[in-house]
Structure 1
């Protein structure tokens, strides 16, 4: 099984050459599914959503996404009254998708809130969905949200999503393998409580890179109880392998 984790496209603040490179590399790497953890757009404009969908469809791969805080309008009345209106209309009417496909089980949660635009929140009803929808057997269980549930080594002072500890506990309780996050624009992976893997990727194709980082996305290759996480970053006008980490699963979860 091969998945691609792509996040923080920020169409509207994109580097056109990186967009083209990302499309070409996803086609070449041929993941079974592309998982997109939010911030498809920079300002939640219709044309930005359409450009993001066009990019994802052009890869020719199935894809699943959740909204990020930039996918809520920042400067329009819709932010208060219909914050995910454009997202639902142009991307997916369900901002919290559930995918069961072969051995893959994925649940996406919508973490942005109009009143917590940067920080985000996961509430009790969403935790209940984790406990219910991800309780069954699967080769790989993935939980995806935009805001991070762990701090990266690169940005150790960044805020976590409200409810982060509860999310990780719920994930561990039902045997989730990987929690995918975005928002911080860095590539990072850690072992969370319960042996769950926490994974972030950098901004996929925008100019909003952090110091010392480049645009990046991550491939997840599952082979039995081995999961290889390969960061592919933008260098010399192409996406190329930056690092690969091999994780092993046992009765105590995942270990490097």
Structure 2
């Protein structure tokens, strides 16, 4: 099974509106052509689909995703408006597909750039992992780890320690996908890969102490190959596909 992760498209109601100098609508369209060529089984947008939370931006994104002809889903980032997203496409929490469960978490906090899962959602995550021990992929917007950019850590996931504690109790979680940091990054947390993806929109400088845009870095998406227990080799493999302008 092949999954494509896209993130941080930052679309606006006006399709001509740019995000930090990037024509995000044109870039998303070109990326969709590359995604379609990969023939994925599932596409996941891991937040900040919209920059202004407008229904027009979500409708436009949904039209392009529908054109792929495969299953797709999305979850909210800090720039999104979850209720408006749900008007266009319901927000899913768990997907069961080909012997895997894909758990989609909502780290959105109204009016805040940072994220939080909260006590109730963390409890639901623990119950889900305890009750279903099939191979699991977790997806959320805010990175649940400390990153190199100090300014980004101030708007990361507030309850990352509680999230990490849950991960440490279950060995059937094979990876965590996130967005928000606008570049590719992979690290291990208690043996579990935590992987971010380049933004559809502008990329941020990974190790800058203050906010900075990397104008030369290309956009990209992540390919995640999920296998069954009966297939030789690792259950999960991944790579980033870069899409230069």
Alpha-carbon displacement from aligned partner over 1:33-52 (angstroms, at most 9, x marks no partner): 11221111010011111111
Secondary structure of the corresponding residue to residue 66 of structure 2: helix
1:214 has 2:223 as partner: no
Distance across 2 between alignment mates of 1:106 and 1:157: 30
Instruction: Tell me, yes or no, if the aligned pair for 1:23 and 1:58 is still in contact at 8 Å.
Output: no
Whole-angstrom distance in 2 between the partners of 1:27 and 1:47: 23
Structure 1 residues 112 and 130 mapped into 2: Cα distance closer, same or farther (>3 Å)? same
TM-score by length of 2: 0.82
Ranges in structure 1 where 5+ consecutive residues have no aligned partner: 73-83, 238-256
For 1:89, the equivalent position in structure 2 comes to 87
Paired position in structure 1 for 2:184: 187
Equivalent pair of 2:43/2:71 in contact (CA under 8 Å): yes
CA RMSD, aligned part only? 1.9
> Which position in structure 1 is the counterpart of 2:94?
98
Question: Which string of whole-angstrom CA distances, capped at 9 and with x for unpartnered residues, describes residues 65-88 of structure 1?
Answer: 11111113xxxxxxxxxxx32122
Name the counterpart of 1:168.
164
In structure 2, the residue corresponding to 1:129 is in which secondary structure? Answer: helix
2:131 is the alignment partner of 1:148: no
- Segments of structure 2 that go 5 or more residues without pairing to the other structure are 13-18, 205-212
Contact 2:11 2:25 in 1 (8 A): no
Q: Distance in 2 between matches of 1:133 and 1:54?
A: 31
What is the 5 A alignment of 1:69-88? 69-72=78-81, 84-88=82-86
Aligned to 2:15: none
Residue 109 (structure 1) aligned to one of 105, 109, 122: 105
Judge conservation of contact 2:187–2:195 (CA < 8 Å) in 1: yes
Distance in 2 of aligned mates of 1:89 and 1:168: 32
State the shift of 1:97 in Å.
1.7
| Post-superposition offset of 1:165 | 1.5
Aligned length in residues:
218
Which residue is equivalent to 1:123? 118
Task: Measure, in 2, the Cα distance between the counterparts of 1:125 and 1:96.
Answer: 16
